[in-house]
Amino acid sequence: MNALVALCHFCELHGPRTLFCTEALHPPSPDPSSQMGTPVPGDRDGDREGEGLTMRANSSATPRGEMCEGCRSLPASHPGFVSIDDETGIRFLSHQHPRQSQLFSVVRQACVRSLSCEVCPGREGPIFFGDEQHGFVFSHTFFIKDSLARGFQRWYSIVLVAMDRIYLINSWPFLLRHLKLTIHSLQSTALKVFDSEQGGCPQRALRMNSVFSPAVFPHQRSGNAARSLTSLTQHPNLWASLHCSFSWLLKASGSRLTEKLLEGAPTEDTLVLIERQTEQEEEMSCWEGAEGGRSESQLLQTDGKLGLLCEASKSDDVPGPKFKSLRHLRQVLGANDFRQLSWHVLMGNQVIWRSADPGLIQSAFTVLKSLLPVGCVRSVPYSAQYEEAYKCNFLGLSPDVPIPAHVSSSGTKRPTDIKVTCRPLWDECPTLLNKLEVALSNENLSVDVVSHCLLCLKEEWMNKVKVLFKFSKVDGRGREDTQKVLALLGATGPGEEDNVRLLKYWMTGLSKTYKSHLMTAVRGGERSPSQ
């Protein structure tokens, strides 16, 4: 993520100050001149790879004479902190100020605004501000207890500065969740120090009994205004700990959302994935509000389990036999059993797979789920009890889990330990399945080509689903008109019953965004004549 995280402090003597910042340095792109050993004219940043954080660009911006202990984090001789991401080669550098003068002015402005004019009600909490020129800022202000400060507390903020406004806004729930953990850790540690100091020498009573003199007041204030954050928390490795937190935040923020070039409008699967991710993040935020006492490790574990774009435990990491593709599954089951199983999947019937090997079941479901739109998939990979069909259409069970009698009587059990509902006649199947089997039986087509063929078939039929949904559900047309549309879509003729059933089932996989767009357009069209 192209961003920078900084901890800021409002000093009672010098105003807003940047205490600590972490930035990410991406590996430099290959330079032909550098490969030839010729220095680039005007390039004075040959050492900007992070070896020495000497802060030459920023030393003149903040003279040391204007900094008190409360304004300073690391001494001038400190080299700073460096962490390297082995996967990407990105280096995360931390020091009191950014290494580049341009970034210094951007962070300085964000610091001043976060601790002066851009604050939320109550002066504690998150807020978003910024512009195209100076970048966009996610800021979270908070107080730290200090027995010697005015009002017994000092004001801080953590700001995350980026040039991508959309990316920063989309990351709001994630950033808020993890910054709260860091802030809570700082506040709880400082509170223990505050209680200990107040127990030894209560400052409130001492101040009320002391003689106030305007002449000595500035000297009294200057003596109390220079307490550092390290002194307030009594944390010996405070800055190293913040470096780790900020570095992880930058890395996680950059990896949780990725940019993808889309040719045309996003597919229904993409929209459904985005909606599910948003819903789970909102549910997680609400749950955290009720269960605020969780540790950071628990939160990270939960965050990992809620990932939508990757499985919680990938089948490739599970030892044992696994199904690798639809063609592989067809070869193992046989053409007839595979055709029957695929029919039930496409029609929305529940498929129960019983095995003592969870990895085998998961690999089978991963392959079978590719037959359906993402919005139609409801999977329980391995359960200790039977789950009803309305909860999941893919259910993995161990061999000793009993199945209710009404379910057993409504289906057949194959030698492969797959249980599905009976299908008496196989002479007419949905058009999509017939075309898929032609591709699978053609050995000249590779697995990748078959996968792209299936993707095209799914997109073709999802477009037909959209037309049918708009015509029958939104416009409310009659049976005769709907039949004409089905003929126009090529869903009539051989396999018509299965084609219609498939279209109706796949309607449940349409995204809420698409449905809401259609309903809004219809309501707008109904109002326009009267207007």
Q: What gap in Å lies between CA 13 and CA 68, rounded to an integer? A: 8
Flag whether pLDDT at 312 surpasses 50.
no
Flag whether pLDDT at 244 surpasses 90.
yes
Flag whether pLDDT at 340 surpasses 60.
yes
According to the model, what pLDDT value does residue 333 have? Answer: 92
According to the model, what pLDDT value does residue 332 have? Answer: 93
Residue 405 has phi, psi (to 5 degrees) of -60, -40
Q: How confident is the model at residue 405 (pLDDT cuts 50, 70, 90)?
A: confident
Amino acid at 248: W
Compute the chain's Rg from CA coordinates: 31
Flag whether pLDDT at 321 surpasses 90.
no
Mean pLDDT, residues 474-493? 79
Could you read off the pLDDT of 345-359 as tens digits, one per residue? 999 999 999 999 999
Residue 458: count of CB within 10 angstroms of its CB: 20
Per the listing, tokens 């020495």 go with: 52
Mean pLDDT, residues 157-165? 92
Cβ 81 vs Cβ 240: under 8 Å: yes
Flag whether pLDDT at 222 surpasses 60.
no
Per the listing, tokens 């019953």 go with: 497
Give the residue, 227 or 207, on which the prediction is more confident: 227
Q: What gap in Å lies between CA 531 and CA 529, rounded to an integer? A: 5
Give the residue, 61 or 354, on which the prediction is more confident: 354
Mean pLDDT, residues 295-324? 50
State in words which class domain 432-522 has.
mainly alpha
Residue 343 has phi, psi (to 5 degrees) of -60, -45
Could you read off the pLDDT of 86-103 as tens digits, one per residue? 888 899 999 988 878 888
Could you read off the pLDDT of 123-155 as tens digits, one per residue? 889 999 998 888 999 999 999 988 887 778 888
Flag whether pLDDT at 342 surpasses 90.
yes
Highest mean pLDDT (candidates 10-14, 315-319, 522-526): 10-14
Flag whether pLDDT at 45 surpasses 60.
no
Q: How confident is the model at residue 56 (pLDDT cuts 50, 70, 90)?
A: very low
Provide CATH 1.10.10.1730 ranges for the chain: 432-522
Six token digits for residue 214: 């305007």
Reduce the DSSP state of residue 154 to 3 states and report it.
strand
Where are the alpha helices (H) located in 51-128, listed in sequence order?
101-114
Mean pLDDT is lowest, of 274-278, 317-321, 455-459, for 317-321
Closest CA to 349 of 384, 381, 325, 376: 376
Asked: is 326-425 a CATH 3.40.50.12430 domain? The reply is yes
CA quadruple 243, 246, 247, 248: dihedral, nearest 10: 120
According to the model, what pLDDT value does residue 415 have? Answer: 42
**How, if at all, do strands 91-95 and 15-25 pair?**
antiparallel
Provide CATH 3.40.50.12430 ranges for the chain: 326-425
Flag whether pLDDT at 290 surpasses 60.
no
Q: How confident is the model at residue 60 (pLDDT cuts 50, 70, 90)?
A: very low
According to the model, what pLDDT value does residue 38 have? Answer: 39
According to the model, what pLDDT value does residue 523 have? Answer: 57
According to the model, what pLDDT value does residue 493 have? Answer: 77
Flag whether pLDDT at 224 surpasses 80.
no
Average pLDDT over the chain reads 78
Q: How confident is the model at residue 34 (pLDDT cuts 50, 70, 90)?
A: very low
Q: What gap in Å lies between CA 428 and CA 497, rounded to an integer? A: 9
Q: What gap in Å lies between CA 472 and CA 478, rounded to an integer? A: 7
C-alpha distances out from residue 352 to 206, 378, 440, Å: 74, 12, 24
